Structure 1
Amino acid sequence: MSKPKQFIKKPIKVTAYQTEKVEYIETLEGTMRADVGDWIVTGINGERYPVKPDIFEKTYQALD
């Protein structure tokens, strides 16, 4: 096994909205529940997935 290296995630533009109701999202891993206040992110290949607000805040930065 080679020695582990450190990496940083490439900055990739995504679109997202914060849901005001419970939603069920079809993701690459199957159907996932998004609770009120969760962010629904659409990735670069059109995939959608819910992200909890605390994780979203640590991971994403607004461009506007």
Structure 2
Amino acid sequence: MIKTYRKTATIQAEQFDGSPEMIEKYAIGVMPAMVIDQFSNPDDTKNWLEPSFRINTLEGKMRLRVGDWIATGIQGEHWAIADYVFRASYVEAD
């Protein structure tokens, strides 16, 4: 029989803004921007990706984008949550 469950633990979270302070605070790895298509015009900025960020999690490195949320669990572990998923899943605790 399938039952319904909800999480009982609370988390702390802050939205990643790409700042050097947050990069240092969470030991985030930064990869420079890359060209999407090697044959595209490098002067055409739509062909460039934003810098790629990585955060260390219990499961390994996880991609992080500006605007994503960095969650901190009950054991101090961190992971990234996409903004739309965070807003659909969490509400601020009192």
Give the match's secondary structure for 1:17: strand
Name the % identity.
38
Query: Which of residues 2, 5, 9 in structure 1 aligns to 2:6?
Result: 9
Rounded Cα–Cα distance in structure 2 between residues aligned with 1:50 and 1:40:
5
Q: Does 1:41 align with 2:71?
A: yes
User: Which ranges of structure 1 fall in alignment gaps of 5 or more residues?
Assistant: none
Q: TM-score, normalised by structure 1?
A: 0.81
Between 1:21-30 and 1:48-57, the stretch displaced more is: 21-30
Judging by fraction of residues, say which structure has more strand.
1
| CA displacement at 1:35 relative to structure 2 | 0.3
- For structure 2, the residue ranges without an aligned partner over 5 or more in a row are 19-51
Q: Which amino acid aligns with 1:43?
A: G
Q: Show structure 1 runs of 4+ deviating over 2 A.
A: none
- The whole-number CA distance in structure 2 between the counterparts of 1:17 and 1:30 is 20
Establish whether residue 59 from structure 1 lines up as the match of residue 89 from structure 2: yes
Which structure has the larger Rg?
Answer: 2
RMSD: 1.5
Task: Provide TM-score, normalisation by structure 2.
Answer: 0.58
After superposition, give the CA deviation of every residue in 1:25-45 in whole Å (9 maximum; x if it has no partner): 111111112100000000112
Following superposition, the deviation at residue 50 of structure 1 comes to 0.1
Equivalent position of 2:80 in the other structure: 50
Between the two proteins, the alignment pairs up a number of residues equal to 61
